[in-house]
Amino acid sequence: MPKINVNIKWNDTDDSPELFKTQIYSQTGVPPERQKIMVKGGILKDTTDLNKLNLKEGHTFMVMGTAGELPKTPPKPVQFLEDLTEAEVMEALNIPPGLENLGNTCYMNATLQCLRAMPELQQSLESYQGGLNGADSRGNLVASLRDLFANLSKASDGFPPLVFWQMLRQSFPQFSQTGQGGIPMQQDAEECWSELVSVLKAKLPHSEDKNFIERYMTGELEAVTECVDAPEEEKTTTVDSFTKLSCHISINTNYMINGILESLTEEIEKNSPTLNRTAKYRRKHQVSRLPQYLPIQFIRFFWKPQERVRAKILRKVKFPLDFDATELCTPELQSKFSKAKLKMKEIEDKKVQKAREEKRRKLDGENDGNQSNNMDTLSEEKVDWKEYLDPKLLEDVGCNPTGQYELCAVLTHVGRSADSGHYIAWVKKNTDEWHKFDDDKVSVLRDADIERLDGGGDWHTAYIVLYRAKKLE
C-alpha cells in the first residue's frame, strides 16, 4: 500500500481507540477492523489507554490496511414480506399451492398432497391416455387426478379440486354421504387412500407387465404358519403382496417398529389335519420385498358399539425420520442388504465427522482451508454402488435395495373420532424443511415439528406415514 499523508483533528485522548479508528475510517476509507495502527511498543489495541502514550501535538501515526469497496445501491428496492400479497409470499418462498376445502374434504386434500410427494406417480399419470368422458368411472377418476396434479404444478394459490371430487364420489358413493343441511360428511382418509391406490393399481399404464403401484409401492410378505397345538405338524409357507403395512397400538406400544412387528404375527384357529379338530395356529409374516415407497398406517381407530362411533387411540407412538426396515425382513433379504447397509453407515459416519470438525473449527476460530478441502473430499467420495448392491435387487426396478428409508410425508388427524376432526398433510421438501398442507393454507416447518406428530394428546397425530428409499449418493 503506498504511503498516504492524512491529517486528523483529534483533541481528546480520553476517547477510546475505537472512536479514534472511526475518525481514521472517515478520512481513509479503511474500516476499523482492517486497521493496524503502529504505536510505541507495537500495535494500538482497543484496550490501550491513550493517555499513557504521552502523545504530543502533531504526532504521526502509521496506519496500515486496505479500504473496502463502498456499498452499492441495490438494483431493486428492498421488499418486505409484510408488504407482499399472500400469492407473492408463496412464490418468493417457493411454497407449493394447497387445495381448497369443498366441505369436509380435508381427508381427500391431505391424501392427495401425500400421494403427490411421489414424483414417479406424477410421471406415470402423465402417460395415462384416458379422458374424462368415458363410461369407466374409475378411468375418469385417474384422468381427473392426472389433470389435478398438472393444474397444481401451474397454480400459485389454493386450487379447488372440484372435478376430482366429483369423480371420486361417482366411483365410491360412500364419499357422497351428507349430513344436516346437505353438508358433506367427514370421511376416513385411510379409506380414501386405499381406494385411490386400488384404482391406480388397476388403471395406470404398464411397462414390462408392471405399473407404478406394482413396482414402487407393492411389497411381498412371506407367511409361515405353524400349529401351536401340534408343533410336529408340517409348517406351511405362502407369499402375499401388500401396498402398506400396519402399526398396531396396544398398551405396550411406544415405537412404530414394535407396532409393525406385532401386526406381522397373528393367532388363528382352523382345522388341523393331524389332530382332526380345530386347533390354534400362529402365522408369522416377514417381508421378502421392500418397495421404494412404504406407507405405514397407525391403527388408531376402533369401533365402540355403545356409542356407535369409531373412537381414537391417543397413545404416543414415536416414528423415526430415518427408518431401518431390515428387522421386518426375511433372513435372506437381510443378507442381501448387508454390504450396502454397511457402506451407507460408513458414509453417514464421515458426514457426522465432517460436521463435528466444522463445528470445532468454528468454536476455535480456525480457518484451515486445506483441512476443509480434505474433509469435503472425504465426505463427497463417489461410490460405485454396483459393488455393494445385490445383483438381483439391482434388477428389481422399484424395490428398496438397502432397506433404509427416509420419511417423506405424514397424514395426520386431530380429533376424537374418524368421522369428525380434521386431516392435514405434511410433506418433506429438503433437509429439515417441510410443507404443512392445511387445505389451502400452506406453511414451512422443520423436522422438530414433524417429530411432535407422534400422538399422546389432542394435537395432530400421525395416521399414515410415507417412507421412501434413501437415495444412493
Give me the catalytic one of 247, 329, 422, 460: 422
Which pLDDT score is estimated for 5?
Answer: 59
> Helix H segments across 29-161?
86-92, 106-115, 119-126, 137-154
Which pLDDT score is estimated for 426?
Answer: 98
Residue 320 belongs to some domain of the structure: no
Which pLDDT score is estimated for 49?
Answer: 72
Q: How many domains does the chain have?
A: 2
Residue 36 belongs to some domain of the structure: yes
Which pLDDT score is estimated for 375?
Answer: 47
Minimal CA–CA distance to 311: which of 403, 226, 418, 409?
418
Give me the catalytic one of 59, 106, 206, 227: 106
Domain boundary among 261, 290, 319: 290
Residue 336 belongs to some domain of the structure: no
Tell me how far apart the terminal alpha carbons of the chain are, to the nearest angstrom.
48
Domain boundary among 5, 37, 64: 64
DSSP string over 170-186: HH-GGGG-B-GGGPBPP
Domain of 30, in residue numbers: 17-64
Query: In a structure prediction context, what are the per-residue pLDDT tens digits for the chain, which is 473 residues long?
Result: 455 555 555 555 556 777 777 777 777 777 777 777 777 667 777 777 767 667 777 677 777 777 666 556 666 666 555 555 555 555 556 799 999 999 999 999 999 999 999 999 999 999 999 888 878 999 999 999 999 999 999 988 899 999 999 999 999 999 999 988 888 999 999 999 999 999 999 999 998 889 999 999 999 999 999 999 999 999 999 999 999 999 999 999 999 999 999 999 999 999 999 999 999 999 999 999 999 999 999 999 988 888 777 888 999 999 999 999 999 999 999 999 999 999 999 998 988 888 888 888 888 775 555 555 554 544 466 889 999 999 999 999 999 999 999 999 999 999 988 778 999 999 999 999 999 999 999 999 999 999 999 998 889 999 999 999 999 87
422 is catalytic: yes
248 is catalytic: no
Residue 266 belongs to some domain of the structure: yes
Which pLDDT score is estimated for 105?
Answer: 96
CATH at residue 36: 3.10.20.90
Residue 232 belongs to some domain of the structure: yes
Residue 283 belongs to some domain of the structure: yes
Whole-prediction pTM value?
0.78
Residue 455 belongs to some domain of the structure: no
Which pLDDT score is estimated for 114?
Answer: 98
Residue 260 belongs to some domain of the structure: yes
User: Can you list the pairs that 13-21 forms with residues at least 24 positions away whose Cβ atoms lie under 8 Å?
Assistant: 13/50, 13/51, 13/53, 13/55, 14/50, 14/51, 15/50, 16/46, 17/44, 17/45, 17/46, 17/47, 17/48, 17/50, 18/46, 20/44, 20/50
